[in-house]
């Protein structure tokens, strides 16, 4: 029974992720102006700003080199990215909210078919998945994992 519940949860999760485009083999955009994944925004102490600026500069330099842009075109390209950065951030934030709402809806549907004991186990599974996700994010951001005592 426990294995079946885990399989159901995994199937739902993968279905949602695939339907939202997270499991496709697309190359992620390279900077916030062009839709850099939201997870990059969680870096602390200004590092994200430096990283995004560096990526933005690389992208502009790449376009200048490959397209043979003039200095005037380069300046206009920089301005285009800067003018659209906030809108792209808002779009990412909106998508994140929509994903959370959809996952909440799916979880409510799953819970509606479970027994009280299964609901308890399902909540425990969700908490465990959240903790694992947080550990991975902390590790990626160089924070390490808290010691268990």
What's the chain's Rg over C-alpha atoms? 20
Taking a C-beta distance cutoff of 8 angstroms, is the pair 45, 143 a contact? no
Domain ranges of the chain: 31-139
Range list of β-strands (E), the chain:
none
User: Would you state the pLDDT for residue 85?
Assistant: 79
Site of tokens 């992620």: 28
* 8-state DSSP, 30: S
Per-residue pLDDT of the chain (149 residues; tens, 9 = 90+): 667 667 667 666 766 666 655 544 444 444 444 555 544 444 444 555 566 667 778 889 999 999 999 999 999 998 888 888 788 888 989 999 999 999 999 999 999 999 999 999 999 999 999 999 999 988 877 765 555 44
Taking a C-beta distance cutoff of 8 angstroms, is the pair 137, 42 a contact? yes
User: Would you state the pLDDT for residue 86?
Assistant: 80
């Amino acid at each position: 029974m426990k294995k079946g519940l885990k399989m159901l949860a995994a199937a739902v999760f993968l279905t949602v992720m695939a339907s939202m485009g997270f499991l496709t083999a697309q190359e992620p955009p390279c900077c916030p102006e062009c839709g850099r994944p939201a997870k990059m925004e969680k870096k602390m102490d200004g590092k994200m700003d430096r990283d995004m600026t560096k990526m933005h500069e690389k992208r502009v330099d790449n376009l200048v080199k490959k397209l043979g842009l003039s200095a005037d075109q380069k300046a206009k390209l920089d301005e285009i990215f800067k003018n659209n950065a906030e809108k792209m951030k808002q779009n990412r934030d909106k998508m994140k909210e929509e994903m959370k709402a959809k996952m909440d809806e799916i979880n409510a549907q799953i819970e509606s078919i479970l027994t009280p004991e299964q609901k308890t186990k399902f909540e425990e599974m969700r908490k465990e998945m959240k903790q694992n996700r947080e550990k991975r994010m902390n590790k990626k951001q160089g924070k390490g994992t808290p010691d268990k005592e």
